[in-house]
Each structure stands twice: as C-alpha cells, then as structure tokens.
Amino acid sequence: MRIVERNPDLVFIIDHMNVADDTAKAGKIPEAIAEVVEFAKHPNVQVKMSSIAHKSSQAYPFRDLTDHLKRVFDAFGPRRSFWGTDVTAVSTASPISLISSASRISPRSCRSSARTTRTG
C-alpha cells in the first residue's frame, strides 16, 4: 500500500482480483477480495477481473463468485475494472459462454454506475 501512496502518478493494475489459485484452494477468496477492495480508494489502482472462473467451487455459472465480482466492480467502477477472456485457460469445464454471463454484471447492475458515465 505504501508504494501506491508514494507513487500517485504511477498506475498499478492488480491481476485476477488478487485471487491466486492457492488462495482459492484454501477457501480465502473473501479475504483476498477484502484486500483488493482496500486499494480502490487510490485512483491510481485498477483491477483485472479475469482468470476467476476456474477458482470457483461450483459449476458454471459459478454463482459463488457473483458477489465477489460485484463487490470489486462496485469498489473500482467501470473505468478502473477490466474484463479478460482467459482464452488461454478456457476448457470444456469453462464454457466460452462464461463471457456472456459476465456481462450480466454490468454498470447497470452495480452501484457505481450511478456515479459514472460511460462513453464509446
């Protein structure tokens, strides 16, 4: 956190919402999400919301991750949150339709949309 605070002009991108494979296996996704959300108070921090489906303990559509995705998106907003296809990790266990289901977590379904205007 100190590095982020000392370098406000440097952009930091947190990969995979701070959820490593070992974190998921240990059942510590909520703790990892709480840590990443703390960084949202710094405008120079962004987050990649990718490589998360295979960390679910449930089958598609991975509903145990929905609240975590919404929490991170609400904290960072649409301008500092990035989706990833995980095309290199896609398998028959993770159908490509996961990408379309991720679109259900959109600015319209999250609190941050009320504060942000989308362009493009």
The total number of structural domains in the chain stands at 1
The predicted structure's pLDDT at residue 113 = 42
Task: Name the amino acid, one letter, at 69.
Answer: L
Task: Note whether residue 78 is domain-resident.
Answer: yes
Q: Is residue 96 part of a domain?
A: yes
The pTM score is 0.72
pLDDT of residue 90: 55
Provide the domain limits for residue 93. Answer: 2-115
In a domain, 48, yes or no: yes
55-97 pLDDT, tens per residue?
999 988 889 999 999 999 999 999 999 987 666 655 555 555 5
Q: Report the alpha-carbon distance of residue 21 to residue 57 in Å, rounded.
A: 12
Tell me whether residue 109 is in a domain.
yes
pLDDT tens digits along 8-66: 999 999 999 999 999 999 999 999 999 999 999 999 999 999 888 889 999 888 899 99
- The answer to whether residue 35 sits within a structural domain is yes
CATH number for the domain including 79? Answer: 3.20.20.140
Report if residue 12 sits inside a domain: yes
Long-range (24+ apart) CB contacts under 8 A made by 101-105 are 101/60, 101/61, 102/49, 102/69, 105/66, 105/69, 105/70, 105/73
Residue 50 falls inside a structural domain: yes
